[in-house]
């Protein structure tokens, strides 16, 4: 945890100083409650871009793109295949809850995609000389550790600045709340059954329009 960040006493999410002054303790009972309160406090209109769904997809997409770009730096052209798009865009709790203890190489194996074996990949000359350890670290580290490193990276900070410049400081704060709690959102929330309604549910702040069964 970086200096200035703290864990609140009500639910297991990180609250950074920018958000701490905006979020009263009584509103920290759940991720959804906190997100809804922050959005209203920041006077951000509920749109497709400002709901939990869209921000979760953005966080997951940017993270896996960063990983893919890292792999490109240590492998020769076309030797690394991107994780399937439908996996990247799937943000349901049920499908994401258990991925964070897995390594990147385990994801490749699940999708039966190369590289399946790191040693074979390196021995076949598909890794750039001198980048072998870097490749191993990325592929063998679990997703949770890689995500934490990503949120501490210069790349992440540039992405945050870009959101601030393009969408304003309020959307940046909302995005940071979701991105910095991305892992905990899945670890500490239970999967829900989704009941779809043909009418738009304007007040739904969760990514599932749900009734618990």
Dihedral, CA atoms, 192, 150, 40, 18, nearest 10 degrees?
Answer: 140
Asked whether residue 42 is assigned to any structural domain, the reply reads no
Asked whether residue 110 is assigned to any structural domain, the reply reads yes
**Is the pLDDT score of 194 beyond 60?**
no
Write the DSSP symbol of residue 14: E
| 54 in Cβ contact with 46 (< 8 Å) | no
Q: pLDDT tens digit string along 124-145?
A: 999 999 999 999 999 999 999 9
Q: pLDDT tens digit string along 91-128?
A: 999 999 999 999 999 998 898 888 888 999 999 999 99
pLDDT band at 211 (very low <50, low <70, confident <90, very high): very low
The tally of domains found in the chain comes to 1
Give the pLDDT confidence score for residue 11 in this predicted structure: 59
Its domain, for residue 153, covers 48-190
Asked whether residue 135 is assigned to any structural domain, the reply reads yes
- Lowest mean pLDDT: which of 86-100, 104-118, 169-183, 186-200? 186-200
Asked whether residue 16 is assigned to any structural domain, the reply reads no
Asked whether residue 33 is assigned to any structural domain, the reply reads no
Alpha helices in the chain (DSSP H): 17-20, 31-41, 52-72, 85-88, 93-96, 104-110, 118-123, 132-140, 143-151, 154-167, 169-180, 182-187
**Is the pLDDT score of 32 beyond 50?**
yes
Q: pLDDT tens digit string along 38-70?
A: 999 999 999 999 999 999 999 999 999 999 999
What is the overall mean pLDDT for the chain?
Answer: 83
Residue with the bigger pLDDT between 10 and 56: it is 56
Asked whether residue 96 is assigned to any structural domain, the reply reads yes
Asked whether residue 203 is assigned to any structural domain, the reply reads no
Asked whether residue 17 is assigned to any structural domain, the reply reads no
């Amino acid at each position: 945890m970086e200096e200035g960040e703290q864990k609140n006493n009500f639910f297991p999410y990180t609250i950074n100083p920018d958000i701490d002054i905006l979020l009263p303790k009584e509103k920290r009972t759940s991720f959804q409650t906190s997100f809804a309160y922050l959005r209203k406090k920041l006077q951000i209109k509920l749109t497709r871009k400002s709901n939990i769904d869209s921000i979760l997809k953005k966080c997951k997409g940017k993270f896996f793109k960063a990983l893919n770009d890292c792999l490109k730096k240590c492998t020769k052209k076309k030797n690394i295949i991107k994780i399937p798009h439908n996996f990247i865009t799937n943000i349901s709790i049920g499908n994401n809850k258990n991925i964070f203890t897995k390594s990147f190489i385990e994801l490749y194996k699940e999708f039966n995609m190369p590289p399946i074996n790191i040693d074979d990949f390196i021995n076949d000359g598909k890794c750039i000389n001198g980048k072998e350890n870097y490749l191993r670290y990325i592929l063998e580290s679990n997703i949770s550790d890689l995500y934490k490193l990503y949120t501490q990276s210069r790349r992440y900070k540039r992405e945050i600045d870009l959101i601030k410049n393009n969408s304003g400081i309020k959307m940046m704060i909302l995005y940071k709340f979701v991105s910095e709690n991305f892992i905990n959102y899945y670890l500490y929330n239970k999967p829900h059954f989704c009941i779809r309604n043909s009418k738009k549910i304007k007040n739904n702040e969760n990514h599932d329009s749900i009734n618990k069964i």
